[in-house]
Structure 1
Amino acid sequence: MRFPLAALTLLALSQLTGCSSESKQESSSKTGKITTEASAESNVAKTDSAEKPEAEKNSLASSRSVSTGDSTLDSLTYAPTEAILPKKRIFAYYGNPHSKKMGILGKYPKEEMLQRLDREIKNWEKADPATPIQPALHLVAISAQGAPGKDGGYRMRMSDKTIKKVLKWGNEHKAIVFLDIQRGHAPLGPEMKFLEKYLKLPFVHLGIDPEFSMVTGAKPGTKIGSYDAADVNQAVQFLSNVVKENNIPPKVLVVHRFTQGMIKNYKNIKLNPNVQIVMDMDGWGPPVLKKDSYHDYIQKEPVQYTGFKLFYDNDFRKPGSRIMTPEEVLALTPKPMYIQYQ
């Protein structure tokens, strides 16, 4: 079963969709706008299964001598010293601080958001006391746009100020931070390069969203995009180089997915001991549809680790729908090791 796009309205900026819906057909999204603290960002939009490398079982100490060349980043002292998966389950709040509609990360003021994160984590700890939880914040750092922009990229990079703000939140809360890329028409390589100085920090990881990878040339939000295995391998190799060059623990790469066509040639994705790949079931809808999608697109096409996304708002959109409980999600096979709330 497929999850078409669901429109997520941001406050004042050309906005696109959030991953998901419950029909089998792909649909176009609506546009909106978002207001940011910097006028330069006035166009932000939203938008375990296979074998694991033996090297991943080993800890990799961080030298903490990593220098990003940025004194503000270098002052962030939170530095995990080993691979996160599978020793811990990652629990992430997703969104952008400039949008209350893009996800829970920006829906509430910082302190209230973090309090809600901690309360939600307790529910998951109760459901699975044996698996420690690693808190996480998942920031849409490069957001797909409905307009091409000056370079024709159909994407907006968040300012250094915005990214650093979320990194500080994570650092203070001992939460890892994911920087998510919705590339639009822009090549993936330069977008990852833009984030490289942040990824040098041991607690910063990467997400890539095929929904907004517009390989057909369509405008983001009008069609569901895709990545090929070669694109995923490019991201894996990029992260592996960051790990090796900076002597830091393995990075986590989250790849969102909610349709068959979003990831092509999955069997060609290459595992790497420096990168832990999570295929994240990213659709909204009633529990039966979410379970079917997890089975069809995640369980049946395994890569390495699996993830599952829950929506505080969209999972309630149909009469009788509801958000799945931690116990229901953990009953899936394989048990997701990355949980994301939007």
Structure 2
Amino acid sequence: MKITPPATFALAFTTFALLASCNSNSTKAEGKSAETQKANADTTEVSMTAPVSKPIDTALYDSLQLKLANGDTTGKWPVKNQPYPLAGAILPFKRIVVYYGNLHSKKMGALGEYAPKEMWSRLNTEIKNWEKADPSTPVQAGLHYIAAVASGTPGRDGKYVNRMANSQIDSVLAIAKMRPNTIVFLDLQVALSNIKAELPHIEKYLELPYVHLGIDPEFSMKDGSLPGKRIGTYDAADINYVSQYLADIVKKHNLPPKVFVVHRFTRKMVTNASSIKLRPEVQIVMHMDGWGEPELKKGTYRHFIYSEPVEFTGFKLFYKNDIKKAPNRLMTPEELLKLTPKPIYIQYQ
């Protein structure tokens, strides 16, 4: 199914009213296969204190990458000339399954919509569904928190970005600890600021071995437009800057590789993707962030994720927006496992 630019634009553009809402609130301060067993033996549980240094099994890594390629015959997948990751790498040994959102808004995702115990009950159900659909791939649970939210108002610095207080991020880390070995992603929507200026605000958290990063080109407004008026963009140069920033943190603090998620649902959201650099310290996930009916989502994945290989791939499922049109249902893990390549990062909003 060919997706025209207007259809793609409508597919995943975030409801901007949610951002203004967030801004107003935030001012208040079963048996496993041998392969699975081997994968578990060669990778370590996420440490909340210090990383471990057992090298990865490169033969297993190659075989799992080939499995994710899902029979692709074009030569695109698996991506050629990837560096092997440092010890402690999560991907492709485990599939990451996360809930996304912000604690200030029940409308921005499941992470903020439900109280922690109910949220975990729901996420654990999704994790079990994935374990059943693909028993050979262990699931790594995670929470994906929007730590800087593109805002409907300019704020003190006029950048239209609402940075979450450290106390809010600390609350998310505490919620993560309710389930052992959970990882956390901090997501940045930079609005009229820029990624270089925003990263230092969360650097102390990125120094933790279980905290990873997401960036959202949709709200990187390089042309000066207000966020929510049009879709923003990042270039490979921006992504390479972030990747090097993360790599420096990993090397300085002797951490396992950081998982680095880049949201995407249009071509212009990521320009010059072929120039994105891969590093042993960082695992890049190009994440299909579009909403809509299954065929539309599959088309977006095919056009903007499959067709421009970077390293790993992700797929977002929207509990509300994905069911607005027939067949009025979420895609299942079984359906997503038929995609080429198979997504190794799954996000529920």
User: 2:270 is aligned with what amino acid?
Assistant: I
Out of 290, 298, 315, which is 2:297 matched to?
290
Contact 2:239 2:276 in 1 (8 A): yes
Structure 1 CA distance for aligned equivalents of residues 306 and 234 of structure 2: 18
Structure 1 CA distance for aligned equivalents of residues 322 and 16 of structure 2: 13
Out of 114, 117, 126, which is 1:120 matched to?
126
Q: 1:119 Cα deviation (Å)?
A: 1.0
Out of 304, 313, 321, which is 1:314 matched to?
321
Out of 19, 25, 45, which is 1:35 matched to?
25
1:7 aligns with 2:15: yes
Can you list the C-alpha shifts for 1:162-214, whole angstroms capped at 9, x where unaligned? 00010111133121000000000112112111110001000000000000000
Give the equivalent residue in structure 2 for 1:171: 177
Q: Greater helix percent: which structure?
A: 2
1:223 aligns with 2:213: no
Structure 2 CA distance for aligned equivalents of residues 252 and 242 of structure 1: 13
Give the equivalent residue in structure 1 for 2:84: 55
Give the equivalent residue in structure 1 for 2:166: 160
1:266 aligns with 2:267: no
Structure 2 CA distance for aligned equivalents of residues 161 and 172 of structure 1: 17
Cα RMSD between the aligned structures? 1.5
Structure 1 residues 321, 339: CA separation in 2 closer, same or farther (over 3 Å shift)?
Answer: same
Contact 2:207 2:253 in 1 (8 A): yes
Out of 256, 262, 269, which is 2:263 matched to?
256
Q: 1:151 Cα deviation (Å)?
A: 1.0
SS of the aligned residue for 2:305 comes to helix
Structure 2 CA distance for aligned equivalents of residues 157 and 33 of structure 1: 9
> Between Structure 1 and Structure 2, how many residues are aligned?
293
Q: 1:321 Cα deviation (Å)?
A: 2.9
Structure 2 CA distance for aligned equivalents of residues 202 and 268 of structure 1: 27
User: 1:268 is aligned with what amino acid?
Assistant: S
Give the 5 Å matches for 1:89-100.
89-100=95-106
Out of 186, 203, 218, which is 2:210 matched to?
203
Contact 1:140 1:181 in 2 (8 A): yes
Give TM-score scaled by structure 1 length: 0.83
User: 1:98 is aligned with what amino acid?
Assistant: H
Structure 1 residues 232, 212: CA separation in 2 closer, same or farther (over 3 Å shift)?
Answer: same
1:232 aligns with 2:232: no
Contact 1:285 1:321 in 2 (8 A): no
Give the equivalent residue in structure 2 for 1:280: 287
Give the equivalent residue in structure 1 for 2:189: 182
Q: 1:33 Cα deviation (Å)?
A: 6.0
Contact 1:34 1:98 in 2 (8 A): no
Can you list the C-alpha shifts for 1:34-89, whole angstroms capped at 9, x where unaligned? 524x525xxxxxxx542363431x52xxxxxxxxxxxxxxxxxxxxxx11000000
Q: 1:3 Cα deviation (Å)?
A: 3.7
Percent identity (aligned): 54
Contact 2:316 2:347 in 1 (8 A): yes
Give the equivalent residue in structure 2 for 1:108: 114
User: 1:285 is aligned with what amino acid?
Assistant: G
Q: 1:118 Cα deviation (Å)?
A: 0.7
User: 1:240 is aligned with what amino acid?
Assistant: A
Can you list the C-alpha shifts for 1:98-121, whole angstroms capped at 9, x where unaligned? 111000001110111011111110
Structure 1 residues 106, 52: CA separation in 2 closer, same or farther (over 3 Å shift)?
Answer: farther
Contact 1:51 1:304 in 2 (8 A): no
Structure 1 CA distance for aligned equivalents of residues 267 and 149 of structure 2: 23
Structure 2 CA distance for aligned equivalents of residues 7 and 192 of structure 1: 25
Contact 1:177 1:203 in 2 (8 A): yes
